[in-house]
A and B are shown apart, each in its own frame.
Chain A
Amino acid sequence: MSLVRRMFPLIVTLGLAFAVGRQAVAHALVVESSPAIDGSVAGPQIEISLRFNSRLDHQRSRLTLIDADGTQHRLTLSQDSAPDMLQAKATGVSPGTHKLRWQVLAIDGHITRGDIPFRVTQP
């Protein structure tokens, strides 16, 4: 019996450590974006702009463009954008379906990430 008793804190601790759930709604949200979710933009040069509901740490956030074949291109973020904006420029983007993957560090310390699927059309 004492073994069972001793095991309780262990089980509870393990439960605390591993009982995890994926969060569909995270802390920082994209309020508006260009390109929009499932929207279309003309290529091959794209101006990217994402506005969030939080102040961001631009130096510690990132934006990646993922091609239809899964190739990832890390984009250089503009460091002088507004506190709640992520801005970048992508060049040489071919027509087709792409995905913009963002990961931001909000000033309050929350890391959040998400995807924006969109289509690139001929200029």
Chain B
Amino acid sequence: MTLLLDLFGFLSVVLRGLMLTAQSLTVGGVAFLLLLAAPLSSEIGVAGAVVIKRSRTLLGWSAIALALVAAISVLIEGVILADTVGLTAGETLGAAFVLAGIAVIGASVAIAWLTLRDRSAGFSGLGLLALAAIILIAQTMTSHAAAQIDDRLLLAAADLLHQAGAAVWIGGIPYLLIALRQCPDPVTWRRVGKRFSHIAMVSVAVIVIAGLVMAVAYTGSVAAIYGTTYGVMVMTKVALLFHLLLLGGMNYLLVERLAGNPATPMLRLRRFAEAEIGIGITLFFAAASLTSLPPAVDLPNELVSFAEIADRMMPTWPRLSSPDHADLAIPALQAKLDAEAAEHAHKAQAFVPGAGDLPPRNAEDIAWSEYNHHWSGLVVLAIGLLALAERSGRAPWARNWPLLFLLLAGFLFLRSDPETWPLGDIGLLESLRDPEVVQHRLFVLLIVGFGIFEWRVRTGRTASAQAALAFPLITALGGALLLAHSHAVINAKEQLLIELSHIPLALCGVAAGWARWLELRLDPPAGRIAAWIWPVCLVLVGLVLLNYREA
């Protein structure tokens, strides 16, 4: 169970990300019904009733998803807590996070019941509002604010407003898509779009003001913004917010253009909104990652200076030759232990996967890891350049670039965990007790599947339009997971320096994924612009990997 507690670190971030997503869809759905769908229903004719009915369906299922994720999260954490501290079921039930979880589950089930039982009947707006408020208050009880020593009420209020603003805006976008799909004419499109724009503007103002209050309280200084992992994750959220504001701003301009020109291409509004949903979900995963980190203000002695960051980021020639496997810390230690075992009866193991200890590392391990990153960078750079060549239309053969992913997968399979099979002494099954090894093996599988799949799409072996969407979705998902991932390093400073290289990779992944999405979903010429963006993002990923350093 102690091992499970270690594993729960990352799993809890993923669950929190899913919970924030489901919560935003639920609270955003309630806000959309009360602020847009119901008031405009009579103005947009028959379509109004359909919009309300379909919105209720999405709201109901979002609430069910929220109840499920909250139940899984409370159950896992409750079992871990009870087992590791030795609590009875009654004692565990009294924990604040369990009570908050029960409140979220209860309110979500009630929302699902109110919205799904008879979708043609009226609904109690006040009841839905009260239930949405219960969800937000309960979730605030499991935020940083609840455990603060000082200014608890102010920070709790800021946190609640921040979550509410995000839910109303980002959580409302899928409902906006439902409404836009039903709008019969440009006049109705404009009415719905303009009203949502106003709601979004107020929400953004609330998000920014509440976010500023929390940023000042939790980071404490300008140096902490770039010198701590917490500060850097806050800036990542700001960068994603700018992505969203850019897309939202373009949609606002489209709605305004609609007033003067009814022939404005409205498909673009829907497609931008789809990308907004995806980037919004990534934002929720970044927020979930932030809740697992200690506030920067609590780490005054762990600040990384600007000079240290600049020194690590300074471009150097890539490491293209590998150290010997035998010189790595674990194989070297194992050889020493084996030599000792030859004299004694007992044979010791240099590293036990899954025992919860950090593996030993030496300078050769760092060189090994940098070599892996640099060669991977070269392959990804080649993939990006070939994709650009394919895009130029002058090199049709370059469309086979996804096959390079197979090369990358083979390279990672061999070298990502040198202490394990096939290079090391630790067998395949035994190595799977180490969560990081499992993660690497699964990502190798994902890369193989992705490479074969995209190659078939590029070469016309798969004709389905939906099949092509796998690329953007998987790339964007990979970027989001990279934001939620934490690294097994021994101190906060080293963790930050690694994060500083992984965050640009994650942001490039997210941008590449949604650019490809827009390329596939938008009509020309807008789609053609997006088609240039994602190969450039892949080139950038390759360059960042080429400059990756661990010392």
Chain A residues close to B by CB (< 8 Å): 1, 4-5, 7-8, 11-12, 14-29, 31, 53-55, 57, 59-62, 83-84, 103, 105-111, 113
Q: A61-B85, A83-B149 are in contact. Are A17 and B11 (CB under 8 A)?
A: yes
Assembly CA distance A105 to B97 (angstroms): 10
Assembly CA distance A100 to B546 (angstroms): 42
Q: Which residues of B contact A8 (CB under 8 A)?
A: 449, 453, 470, 474
Q: Which residues of B contact A23 (CB under 8 A)?
A: 9-10, 292, 486
Stretch at the interface among B115-123, B191-199, B294-302, B523-531: B294-302
* CB-based contact B449/A20 at 8 Å: no
Which of A11, A19, A62, A107 is B147 in contact with, Cβ under 8 Å?
A107
Chain B residues close to A by CB (< 8 Å): 5-11, 14, 77, 80-81, 84-87, 91-92, 94-97, 100, 141-149, 229, 291-295, 298-299, 356, 358, 435-436, 438-439, 442-443, 445-446, 449, 452-453, 456, 461-462, 467, 470, 474, 477, 481, 485-492, 495
* CB-based contact B11/A20 at 8 Å: yes
* CB-based contact B10/A20 at 8 Å: yes
* CB-based contact A18/B95 at 8 Å: no
Q: A18-B438, A108-B143 are in contact. Are A25 and B229 (CB under 8 A)?
A: yes
Q: A60-B95, A108-B147, A109-B97 are in contact. Are A24 and B81 (CB under 8 A)?
A: no
> Would you give the shortest CB distance from A114 to chain B, in whole angstroms?
12
* CB-based contact B87/A111 at 8 Å: no
* CB-based contact B10/A60 at 8 Å: no
Q: A5-B467, A12-B477, A18-B438 are in contact. Are A111 and B80 (CB under 8 A)?
A: yes
* CB-based contact B495/A106 at 8 Å: no
Q: Which residues of A contact B486 (CB under 8 A)?
A: 21-25
Q: Which residues of A contact B87 (CB under 8 A)?
A: 60
Of all chain B residues, the one with the shortest Cβ separation from A83 is B149
* CB-based contact B147/A106 at 8 Å: yes
Which of B81, B144, B299, B435 is A105 in contact with, Cβ under 8 Å?
B81
Assembly CA distance A54 to B293 (angstroms): 12
Assembly CA distance A37 to B6 (angstroms): 22
* CB-based contact B294/A60 at 8 Å: no
Q: Which residues of B contact A16 (CB under 8 A)?
A: 14, 481
* CB-based contact A31/B298 at 8 Å: yes
Which of B100, B147, B439, B461 is A21 in contact with, Cβ under 8 Å?
B439
* CB-based contact A29/B470 at 8 Å: no
Assembly CA distance A120 to B522 (angstroms): 70
* CB-based contact B467/A110 at 8 Å: no
Q: List 27 A-B contacts (CB under 8 A).
A: A1-B461, A4-B449, A4-B452, A8-B449, A15-B442, A15-B443, A15-B446, A16-B14, A19-B439, A19-B485, A21-B435, A21-B436, A21-B488, A22-B435, A23-B10, A23-B292, A24-B358, A25-B299, A26-B294, A55-B148, A59-B94, A60-B85, A105-B85, A105-B97, A108-B146, A109-B95, A109-B142
Assembly CA distance A4 to B474 (angstroms): 14
* CB-based contact A21/B453 at 8 Å: no
Q: Which residues of B contact A20 (CB under 8 A)?
A: 6-7, 9-11, 435-436, 438-439
Q: Which residues of B contact A109 (CB under 8 A)?
A: 77, 95-97, 100, 141-142
* CB-based contact B298/A53 at 8 Å: yes
| 8 A-B pairs with least C-beta separation | A109-B97, A20-B435, A54-B147, A53-B298, A19-B439, A20-B10, A108-B147, A23-B9
* CB-based contact A57/B492 at 8 Å: no
Q: A11-B449, A60-B81 are in contact. Are A19 and B442 (CB under 8 A)?
A: yes
A19, A62, A84, A105: most-surrounded residue (chain B CB, <10 A):
A19
Q: Which residues of A contact B481 (CB under 8 A)?
A: 15-16, 19
Q: A29-B299, A109-B95, A109-B142 are in contact. Are A1 and B446 (CB under 8 A)?
A: no
Assembly CA distance A15 to B484 (angstroms): 12
> Would you give the shortest CB distance from A19 to chain B, in whole angstroms?
4
* CB-based contact B356/A53 at 8 Å: no
Q: Which residues of A contact B293 (CB under 8 A)?
A: 25, 27
Assembly CA distance A62 to B87 (angstroms): 11
Q: A18-B438, A108-B144, A108-B146 are in contact. Are A103 and B488 (CB under 8 A)?
A: no
Q: Which residues of B contact A22 (CB under 8 A)?
A: 6, 9, 356, 358, 435-436, 486, 488
> Would you give the shortest CB distance from A10 to chain B, in whole angstroms?
10
Assembly CA distance A11 to B438 (angstroms): 12
* CB-based contact B96/A18 at 8 Å: no
5 other contacts beyond A21-B439, A103-B84, A105-B81, with CB at 8 A cut-off? A19-B442, A22-B9, A61-B85, A62-B84, A109-B141
* CB-based contact B10/A11 at 8 Å: no
Q: Which residues of B contact A7 (CB under 8 A)?
A: 449
* CB-based contact B84/A55 at 8 Å: no
Q: Which residues of B contact A19 (CB under 8 A)?
A: 10, 435, 438-439, 442-443, 481, 485
Which of A5, A18, A28, A113 is B453 in contact with, Cβ under 8 Å?
A5
Q: Which residues of B contact A14 (CB under 8 A)?
A: 442
A18, A31, A54, A108: most-surrounded residue (chain B CB, <10 A):
A108
Q: Which residues of A contact B97 (CB under 8 A)?
A: 105, 108-109
Q: Which residues of B contact A105 (CB under 8 A)?
A: 81, 85, 95, 97
Of all chain A residues, the one with the shortest Cβ separation from B494 is A24
> Would you give the shortest CB distance from B491 to chain A, in whole angstroms?
7
Q: Which residues of A contact B96 (CB under 8 A)?
A: 57, 107-109
Q: Which residues of A contact B143 (CB under 8 A)?
A: 108
Q: A11-B449, A18-B435 are in contact. Are A108 and B141 (CB under 8 A)?
A: yes
